[in-house]
Amino acid sequence: MHPCAVSIPFLFLCFLSTSTFVGGIPTHFTGDVRINCGSIGTSTASNGREWIGDVKPKFSSLLQIEGSSTTSTLIDKLISADPVPHKTARISLSHFSYTFQLSPGQKILRLHFYPAPYKGFKRFKDLFTVEAGVFTLIRNFSASLTAAALGVKSFSKEFCISIEENQTLDITFSPASSQAQDSTYAFINGIEIISVPMHLSYYRGGDLGAQVVGEKSLVYIDNSTALELIHRINVKWDSVSSGDDFDDMLGMWATVPAQNGNEFNNLTWKKSVDVGFRYLVRIHFCELGLKMAETGGMIFKILINQMIVDTNTDIVKERDNHGSLRYRDYMVTMKGRKQEGRRDLLICLQSSDELMDGHRLLKGFEIFKLSNPDNSLASPNALPPARDSPSWIIQRFVSSLGNRNAIATASITVIAVINIIVYKLRIIWEASITEEENRPSARAERVCRRFSLAEIKSATRNFSDAFVIGKGGFGKVYRGLIDNERETVAIKRLKSNSKQGKHEFLTEIETLSELRHINLVSLIGYCSERREMILVYEYMACGTLADHLYKLAKDNNTCSSITWKQRLNICIGAARGLDYLHTGHRVIHRDVKTSNILLDENFVAKVSDFGLAKPEDRSKLQSHVSTKIKGTFGYFDPYYFSTHKLTRKSDTYAFGVVLLEVLCERPAMDPTLGEDECCLTKWAQSKINKGEIEQIIASSLIEEISPDSLRVFLGVAERCLHDEPKERPTMAQVVQQLELALEKQQSRKFVAPEKIRSVVNDARTSNDGTISSVSTEQAKVASTDTIGPPPIGGTDGEMDNTDPPSGRKDGEKPKAYESLQRWARQVAFWRVKPSKKEEIVWKSVSEIKLPKFDLERIAAATNQFSSSNKIGQGGFGSVYKAMLPTGQIVAVKMFSFSTHGLDEFKHEILLGSNLQHRNIVKLLGYCIHGEGGMLLYEFMENGSLDTFIFDEVQCHQLQWSLRFKIMLGVARGVLYLHEGSRLRIIHRDLKPNNILLDTEMNPRISGFGIAKTLGDNQSDTETRVAGTLENFRKARVYSFGVALLEILSGKKNIRYPRYDLNLIAFAWELWSEGRALDLIDESVGGAFPAEEALRCIHVGLLCTQQQPYHRPTMRSVIVLLLDKGFSLQEKVAEAASYRGSMERTGASNMENEYLESSFIASRTFEYNEHNGIPDLGSDSAATFEYDNTMQR
């Protein structure tokens, strides 16, 4: 073959390979870049990431180093740091730079420093500046001093910049001094450049942006701004994930607890930052918390520097508008001179749900410093005096005079200095008085209108006396016309010598700017110009309550007196306003009186004058605020006056004085009267004690007021005036009682004076100063009696369901049912608002100091939640057997908050931690993790009762003695729940699978997820409500009766196909046929005492009677089970007769039994009206099983 024939293809192949190689050279770094400064080749860090050396890099065109620098290795052994990239460094006495060829986009730039002695360079001699492109990142920076201050060996600084298309990134390191005698050097150990995903970009545009703190505007961070990461905090205590591995790649989330960690609804983080810069705060949200906010299950506020930036309502609206919401950005400016150093930036989360612990809402947050207009992120050195400063002006002035007349020059200079100082001081003084001292917060300024003094003078015709509508020690109140005389307002002008000064002025603005309620006066605006302190309110056409009670009459005004019904409505409105203050905003008014209750044109009451208002300290557990005595004589709470401890009940006491003023038509203090009569409270209580009640009632009311209404009104007034704050009602309870008084008044009959006097005989004051209730008919309660501690309702704050009326004609209800209805209405007097209940729940848990377990410990104890450790499955999660490191075996009950398990978790952690009884399962601890929780109970070796009585094999282990022991133990446990426990609990889900058995087969009641509580100290209350509370408990005895019959028979309470009857009806059928003992489980084999077994059957039948008031109490049940000498045959016969009469009327079938557990009634089953067969509901959490065949 010819040589040319071979050489031509060979040359072509060489050319092709060369072209391919040239075309394969990258033009820029793709992906992330990690440079191990001062090293050669590729190195792998301990986290598995690869770093490339800057000495002879593989693609030198992508990374270039300019300037004079050298590489160096640590002299000492590396301590507590990864060798990569900390073992080597690039270091120099003169400036040097890196140039990177990068892809466009937003980049995280992270600089790693390990300050230590390097060969030829001493520690603490490093002092340098770092620049990235046009941005100055750090200036006069010493890594050695920074590490020493932080107490670390190594650290990194992180920045964020934007790289444009075809733009290089130049990073320059410049030592501060190159003088031989004082040389400093610059060094760097590692450089990381990480691309930021678009969905997490810190540069936002379009309709998104960062909300400015203190304003309603948005700002947009563009590419001309550089950012420095100041803090990145993990709040949730687990990894903060963005849905990809970006956060893992950053690896910089610090776990720092919030301050005030003992107050779960007020978490605050303080982070020190430089003043004189803007900061971007990015808050990352937890998906569970956002879902709860959407459903109204979580109420929260987010504050930055004590200003509200977002609420749950705002977040939900944002999600609705923009879909998925992972984070929110906020912009805050830390004002001040840069020379002042640093100041705390405050981030606060206020949540109403304690068990959410704050950490279920927030994943974490980041704080970035933004570069200033001079493209600097560094805190600059001190600046020389400005050209316009007085010192510069004086220097120029003296210079212009020269030295021709030294004395004149000095004199003029001194005069000029004095004039400048006086002028400046005057400006500063006036500004501080008008603009700073009397200026409310930015939040209040957004809500309240700021009036000029000229507008106020125009509205009042220059404060004309003709416009005065009121006056007091504070100053005068004017009627004014604003907005071209279209709106009438009330203008309150404080006198310069008023007792109410700057503090009260600002307090009223701050307080009223947060309040919106129909029974609170509305603040329109204010004026603080030229030392004036003026407040502008909505106009109240009918003046004050005091005007209508006694002031107008004193001035010989012919205004007609307000009726008793009007007075009650006014008192109800004012009480609602105070209740809103106390429970809605935790504010104590501190100056409740009739002159501070205003009336609009419809006589709607409006509480006013919040100058002395005091917010409760949410960071403390105390229910009082220690403060100086302030208020009005005649209304002072004696407890507050003697101890200086202000509570909500101080307002309650003052409101009690208001109630007496309403009834008596005289002021709280009247100095014109004698010593025994000048104080209204002492005079009125003395008259009541003497039986002279008609002497304190205003003459205009004596023939109008109803005795029943008077009785209730006097009762609540007396309770408000109790010397002990704990014995006084809450304002919510006062509202309920006043509404009852109004109801009694509206149904009044003719009143004779002797009937009024009889109220005294019916409502005599007891030895402890309280008024006892009157019982004129069954369950008719005048709730003026002693008020015990408020009961705790369920999660919805409502009373439990009671039996429906049955066996009656249309419209007819049994008396006992009416009593229960009255109880449900009256019990609101002792009911506590949900927010208060939440406080009681968490306070109870914290007082008991229930152990808190971490997730890792429980995971290890359950073998990582192995299926072999799983021992049960409930409606809200699984149950695992676990062995703790101590060797103790426990049961771990799982709850998923995302599947409606949060309420059950809360109930069980409260109730279980407050119960100590041998027949109640013991709660050992809890764990809150991620989107769920766990409760740790003592392990019950023999499982639940249903696995024995309903199993054809296991049932043989339950011979009679064990069954009787279990029945008696369960009865004692239920009695403890009803009467012995502090919380007085109604279980509502008593059934065999909630009855656990220990190693000795002792029963333990469990499953308190839907239980309700009635409060403690209930014995007195039972007497007052004439047995209705007892009937309420009797209604709960039904489920025990069902469980008892199931234990006796070994069969579930289902329909028997053979007889078309359920278990209860079947038991009655056997009893009526004289075959009651045939109900006993066949597995017992006849080995049982017939008399004892029959007594148990009788008890079961009596407990499951259709009407609650026919059933025995749990205490009676125990007596009946144990008393062998007491025959129940007659009682059961009476019950059977009543049952038969109801069946003959055709009004009801016994098979149409009302199932007592409201869990079943409201969530699982509804009974069929025709055949008594329960229809299975759609709730997947149902725990009852019903088969179509006979079951054991």
- Give the C-alpha distances (Å, rounded to integers) separating 659 from 545, 662, 730: 11, 5, 15
One-letter amino acid at 214 equals G
Q: What are phi and psi of 334, to 5 degrees?
A: -95, 95
Per the CB < 8 A criterion, the answer to whether 383 and 142 are in contact is no
- CA–CA dist 237, 912 (Å, integer): 26
- CA–CA dist 491, 520 (Å, integer): 16
According to the annotation, is 58 in a ligand binding site?
A: no
> How many residues in total does the chain contain?
1192
Q: Which residues contact residue 182 at a Cβ distance below 8 angstroms, ignoring those fewer than 6 apart?
A: none
Per the CB < 8 A criterion, the answer to whether 35 and 52 are in contact is yes
Per the CB < 8 A criterion, the answer to whether 229 and 158 are in contact is yes
Provide, for the chain, the percentages of residues in helix, strand and coil under a 3-state DSSP scheme, each rounded to the nearest 5.
35, 25, 40
The DSSP bridge partners found for residue 106 are 162
The active-site residue out of 274, 310, 591, 651 is: 591
According to the annotation, is 628 in a ligand binding site?
A: no
H-only helix segments in 886-938:
902-913
Per the CB < 8 A criterion, the answer to whether 185 and 128 are in contact is yes
One-letter amino acid at 561 equals S
Interstrand relation of 870-874 and 877-883 (parallel, antiparallel or unpaired) = antiparallel
- CA–CA dist 253, 276 (Å, integer): 26
- CA–CA dist 17, 844 (Å, integer): 79
Per the CB < 8 A criterion, the answer to whether 120 and 131 are in contact is no
Token pair recorded at residue 973? 């446990």
- CA–CA dist 1056, 1191 (Å, integer): 9
- CA–CA dist 1153, 1168 (Å, integer): 9
How far is C-alpha 1111 from the geometric centre of its chain's CA atoms?
41
Other CB atoms within a 10 A radius of the CB of residue 105 amount to: 15
Is 762 one of the annotated active-site residues of the chain? no
- CA–CA dist 962, 1001 (Å, integer): 8
Interstrand relation of 889-896 and 870-874 (parallel, antiparallel or unpaired) = unpaired
Neighbour-count burial of 1138, counting CB atoms closer than 10 A to its CB (0-12 exposed, 13-18 middle, 19+ buried): middle
Within 220-306, strands assigned E span: 227-234, 254-255, 267-274, 277-285, 300-304
H-only helix segments in 110-250:
143-150, 246-250
Please confirm whether the linkage preceding 729 is cis (ω < 30° from 0). Answer: no
Half-sphere exposure of 835 (CA within 13 A, CB side): 14
- CA–CA dist 884, 869 (Å, integer): 13
Q: Which residues contact residue 985 at a Cβ distance below 8 angstroms, ignoring those fewer than 6 apart?
A: 911, 915, 977, 978, 1008, 1011, 1012, 1013, 1014
Neighbour-count burial of 822, counting CB atoms closer than 10 A to its CB (0-12 exposed, 13-18 middle, 19+ buried): middle
Q: Quick one: which H or E segment has residue 932?
A: strand 932-938
Per the CB < 8 A criterion, the answer to whether 619 and 263 are in contact is yes
Which residues are annotated as part of the binding site for ATP? 492, 893
Q: Point out the residues that are catalytic.
A: 591
